[in-house]
């Protein structure tokens, strides 16, 4: 058993889904449907190793739960669909271990759970989960795999580029798994989820009493990753002052925890990732040029899924198995429908489409109509304040190209033909939208 987790949320469907996923991963799960119940369990019952705490609940909310619990031997990860920097800072000052925004993918949550267990001494540093494989049949994936095998044995920093959902953390985990550090921790951090006020504490740790709410010593991610790999995702989200502190830690191989006067040596390999053009960010003055060159010793680019359709079939089979649906297959027309879609959310979006399709499948074969309906739901879900026409949802016989073209035309009308605004509403960049307009013969101002 990996450890015990208490899920605190007044949304029964969220509790059910998260409990199911984490039980499958080997965690002992308990639940609390309200803040009042959570306070009772945390203060009077046998405390769990980790608690997942929703901030927005009826009655006692998450912040009030933190206030009423005081010092407890439980690492609390705050989850919310309404997160703000202010709420994150307050939660962590009240003793929360970390902060994530919903929707939360259980696969991405597990590394954070392991970090929390490590801090509590409930997990062995070498007890790493098996790395997720790089799956694909395209030359692009072959090239990435070869690069990983080449760079992994070194201790140099690696910078992984790629759109959201392409699998940048998978590449980082593969580098770690093939390195001499494989028996040591792999620690992941999402820079977009760390408020700048807490950056130093999160990475470098702090002493008890270093600031209001620092009720216990905290090791920090650098020390948790000692001897292993620290993966920093969404690197471009780091504010400039945080970039300077990160650069010093990498260059000097030392850190200074908040509240301590001396520095501590650290042996950590850095793998960072971004979906942004970092060189353009340096020219705009939003990213430090010295940090850019320090991290980009070995750059790896993961091409988007739309540029490697050969990977769709092996990826689909792998993802269905990962969902526990290895008995399901996709018929040839369903695979063709998957290949013709642009996948703005890449592998992550493919996983969501297959998750939905597997739930609605009435036989052991997923057909083209069901696949197109699930992709149509994804298309409309990617755009704000839009709902699919009832005929498309009910029959699924409108072609995927027709669904996309009609939706683009609808959004353009809503935006009075403004391409920039329409692209933002659709969740794609202007260049991609212009390419689609040319392909569909749609005229816009």
Residues 145 and 103 in one domain: no
Span 290-349, pLDDT tens digits: 999 999 889 999 999 999 999 998 888 888 877 778 788 899 999 999 998 989 889 888
Residues 70-75 have a mean pLDDT of: 74
Domain identity same for 27 and 94: yes
Domain containing 222 — which CATH number? Answer: 3.40.50.300
Q: Which residues lie across from 269 on neighbouring strands? A: 229
Total count of residues recorded for the chain: 445
Rounded to the nearest 10°, the torsion over CA 113, 117, 122, 124 is 80
Helices 400-414 and 430-440: crossing angle in degrees, nearest 10, is 120
SS3 state of residue 198: helix
Of 123, 151, 186, which residue sits at a domain end?
123
* Residue predicted with more confidence, 82 or 225: 225
Instruction: Assess if residue 280 is contained within a domain.
Output: yes
**Which segment of 38-42, 241-245, 344-348, 400-404 scores lowest on mean pLDDT?**
400-404
Is the pLDDT at 368 greater than 60? The verdict is yes
Question: Are residues 284 and 398 located together in one domain of the fold?
Answer: no
What pLDDT was estimated at residue 184? 87
Is 109 found in the same domain as 192?
Answer: no
Q: What is the pLDDT of residue 386?
A: 36
Mean pLDDT for the stretch of residues 254-269: 82
Indicate left, alpha or beta for 431 from its phi (over 0: left) and psi (-120 to 50: alpha): alpha
Distance, CA of 94 to CA of 96 (rounded, Å) = 6
Per-residue pLDDT band at 6 (split at 50, 70, 90): very high
Q: Which segment of 231-240, 314-323, 379-388 scores lowest on mean pLDDT?
A: 379-388
Average pLDDT over every residue of 220-230: 88
Q: What is the CATH number of the domain that holds 376?
A: 1.10.8.60
The band of 145, judged by pLDDT with boundaries at 50, 70 and 90, is: confident
Say how far apart CA 348 and CA 351 lie, in whole Å. 5
For residue 112, give the CATH number of its domain.
3.40.50.2300
Q: Where does the pLDDT of residue 385 fall: very low under 50, low under 70, confident under 90, or very high at 90 and above?
A: very low
Phi, psi of 233 (to 5 degrees): -90, 160
Considering the domain architecture, whether residues 289 and 344 belong to the same structural domain is answered as no
Residue 337 is predicted with a pLDDT of: 92
Determine the structural domain holding residue 260 and report its residue range. 124-303
pLDDT at 415: 80
Give Cα 138 to chain centroid, integer Å.
Answer: 24
Q: Is residue 229 part of a domain?
A: yes
Q: How far is CA 305 from CA 64, 355, 377, 379, 411, in A?
A: 44, 18, 19, 16, 24
- Res. 1: pLDDT tops 70: no
φ, ψ dihedrals at 264, nearest 5°: -120, 130
Provide the token pair at 413.
Answer: 């009308």
DSSP secondary structure letter of residue 30: E
| DSSP assigned state of 171 | H
Whether residue 191 is found in the same domain as residue 290: yes
Residue 253 CA to residue 370 CA, distance in Å, equals 53
Is 159 part of any domain? yes
Q: Which of 277, 303, 329 is the last residue of a domain?
A: 303
Q: Are 59 and 34 in contact (CB under 8 A)?
A: yes
The pLDDT of residue 183 is above 90? no
Tokens of 284: 């705009």
Please state, for a pLDDT cut of 90, what percent of the chain lies above it: 22
First to last CA, the chain: 60
If asked whether residues 290 and 322 sit together in one domain, one would say no
147 and 261 belong to one structural domain: yes
Please give the pLDDT value at position 120. 57
For the chain, what is the domain count? 3
CB 428 within 8 A of CB 412: no
| Residues 340, 364 within the same domain | yes
Q: Are residues 224 and 239 in the same domain?
A: yes
The more confidently predicted of residues 76 and 257 is 76
The pTM of the full predicted model, rounded to 2 decimals, is 0.61
283 pLDDT band, cuts 50/70/90, is very high
Confidence of residue 81 (pLDDT cuts 50, 70, 90): low
- 389-396 long-range contacts, Cβ below 8 Å, gap at least 24? 395/369, 396/369, 396/370, 396/372
367 in a domain, yes or no? yes
11 and 153 together in one domain: no
What DSSP assignment string belongs to 108-144?
Answer: HHHHHHHHHHHHTT-S-TT-PPPPPP----SHHHHHH
Neighbours of 197 (CB within 10 A): 14
Task: Please report the pLDDT score of residue 27 as a whole number.
Answer: 87
Asked if the model's pLDDT at residue 21 lies above 90, the reply is no
CB 131 within 8 A of CB 45: no
Does residue 445 lie within any of the structural domains? Answer: no
Residue 150 sits in the same domain as residue 212: yes
Q: In the predicted model, what is the mean pLDDT of residues 180-204?
A: 82
Beta bridge mates, 53: 8, 78
**Which of 67, 88, 123 is where one domain is finished?**
123
What is the Cα 364 distance to its own chain's centre? 30
The Cα 312–Cα 143 span in angstroms is 17
Residue 383 has pLDDT above 50, yes or no: no
pLDDT at 397 exceeding the cut of 60? no
pLDDT of residue 427: 60
pLDDT, residue 267, reads 92
């Amino acid at each position: 058993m990996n450890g015990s987790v208490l899920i605190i949320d007044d949304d029964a469907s969220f509790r059910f889904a998260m409990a199911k996923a984490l039980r499958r991963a080997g965690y002992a799960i308990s639940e609390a449907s309200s803040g009042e119940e959570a306070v009772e369990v945390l203060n009077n019952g046998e405390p769990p190793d980790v608690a997942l705490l929703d901030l927005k609940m009826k009655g006692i909310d998450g912040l009030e739960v933190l206030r009423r619990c005081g010092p407890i031997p439980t690492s609390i990860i705050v989850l919310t669909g309404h997160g703000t920097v202010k709420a994150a800072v307050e939660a962590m000052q009240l003793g929360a271990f970390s902060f994530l925004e919903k929707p939360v993918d259980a696969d991405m949550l597990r590394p954070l759970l392991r970090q929390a267990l490590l801090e509590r001494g409930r997990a062995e540093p070498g007890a790493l989960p098996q790395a997720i494989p790089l799956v694909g049949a395209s030359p692009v994936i072959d090239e990435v795999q070869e690069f990983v095998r080449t760079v992994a044995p070194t201790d140099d920093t690696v910078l992984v580029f790629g759109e959201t959902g392409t699998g940048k953390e998978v590449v980082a985990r593969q580098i770690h798994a093939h390195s001499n550090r494989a028996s040591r921790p792999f620690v992941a951090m999402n820079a977009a989820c760390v408020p700048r006020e807490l950056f130093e504490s999160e990475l470098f740790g702090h002493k008890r009493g270093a600031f209001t709410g620092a009720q216990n010593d905290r090791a920090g991610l650098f020390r948790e990753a000692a001897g292993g790999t620290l993966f920093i995702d969404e690197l471009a989200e780091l504010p400039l002052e945080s970039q300077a502190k990160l650069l010093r830690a990498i260059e000097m191989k030392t850190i200074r925890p908040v509240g301590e006067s001396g520095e501590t040596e650290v042996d950590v390999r850095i793998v960072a990732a971004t979906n942004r053009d970092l060189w353009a960010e340096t020219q705009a003055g939003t990213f430090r040029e010295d940090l850019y060159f320090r991290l980009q010793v070995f750059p790896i680019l993961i091409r988007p899924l739309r540029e490697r359709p050969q990977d769709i079939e092996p990826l689909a089979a792998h993802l269905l198995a990962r969902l526990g649906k290895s008995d399901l297959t996709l018929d040839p027309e369903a695979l063709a429908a998957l290949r013709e879609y642009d996948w703005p959310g890449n592998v992550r979006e493919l996983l969501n489409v297959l998750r939905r399709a597997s739930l609605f499948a009435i036989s052991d074969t997923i057909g083209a109509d069901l696949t197109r309906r699930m992709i149509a739901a994804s298309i409309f879900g990617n755009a704000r304040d839009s709902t699919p026409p009832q005929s498309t949802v009910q029959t699924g016989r409108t072609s995927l190209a027709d669904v996309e073209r009609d939706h683009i035309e609808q959004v353009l009308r809503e935006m009075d033909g403004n391409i920039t605004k329409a692209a933002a509403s659709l969740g794609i960049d202007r260049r991609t939208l212009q390419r689609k307009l040319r392909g569909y013969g749609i005229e816009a101002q």
